[in-house]
Amino acid sequence: MSTKGRVRMQEKQEASLRTNIVFGVLNLCALIVVGILLVMVLRRPFLQIESVTFIGNTMIAEYELRRVTDPLLEEKWLGLVPRTSLLFVPKRRMRTLLPDRISRIEEIRIERNGLRHIVISLREYAPAYLWCTYTETESTTMRTSEICWYVARDGYVFARAPLFSDYVYMKFHTREAEYGEPLGRYVFNEGDFEMLLALRQELESRGVFVYKISQGEHRDIELYIDTLDGRSMPHESHIRIALTQDPDVILAAITAVREQSRFRERLQQGEDLHYIDVRFEGRALFKFY
């Protein structure tokens, strides 16, 4: 190709490149303009959420809920579009953060009531039991303080509880407050928890009423009873078992003790039962005060 032809081709390529650059810049400017217009539209008041309403919260104060939701709604998507915009309400994060921050929430549902109103429906955990811990002084081994938490029917610990003067709820007890803050945890593991509740129910069907389950060392458990065969028991009367035992073995051992003539005689004479101990295979012990 001649020198003149090469020059002409180069000029065409440069012209084409300039045209592409111009079109690219124009397209970019158009996108920026469209983006700015879109952001302006999305920020308009008529496209913002007007209210967030909570229903179903009876024990949870509304300000606790708003401490979670308000900061989310104050955020801006890419620093430009407010999260109150109808298209950018952070409903998924609300569903995640509310139960994470407020352990009393069992279930949450977020819906629209009309175009600009959000309704957050809650279901709170209902207390079924208490989980309490206490500390002891080294010198006197006397109980110095007790802290209790509400426990749901499935064993989930969801809120701090007041100290009741009586056994309003069946109580799970640990000997030392060594577990830290238990909110959001479960009492025991699922298998042990279900076994203890089933054992308690079976004992009640046999005339033994358990009002407190206390955990000791080495997976030992004390079942505190207030009634045995229709008789009221002293406050500290209990049955000692081990979590490693089969429930049928425990029940059989307790039945064997109750059927002993010596045990029944002392019970009928009005003596106060201290404990029944069925932790040891092949033998069961009992002691009266």
Distance CA 72, CA 48 (A): 14
Kindly state the helix (H) or strand (E) to which residue 102 belongs, with its residue range.
none
Q: Which is nearest to 104 in space by CA: 55, 147, 64? A: 64
Distance CA 130, CA 263 (A): 32
Distance CA 211, CA 128 (A): 13
CB–CB of 288/260 below 8 Å?
no
Q: Which residues of the chain have pLDDT under 70?
A: 1-17, 26, 30, 33, 35-43, 134-145, 175-180
Q: What is this structure's pTM?
A: 0.73
Kindly state the helix (H) or strand (E) to which residue 139 belongs, with its residue range.
none
Number of other residues whose CB lies within 10 A of the CB of residue 171: 20
Q: What is the mean pLDDT of the chain?
A: 84
Q: Per-residue pLDDT tens for 132-182?
A: 886 655 544 445 567 889 999 999 999 989 887 777 899 998 765 455 677
| Token code pair at residue 26 | 């124009």
Distance CA 170, CA 226 (A): 11
Q: How many residues does the chain have?
A: 289
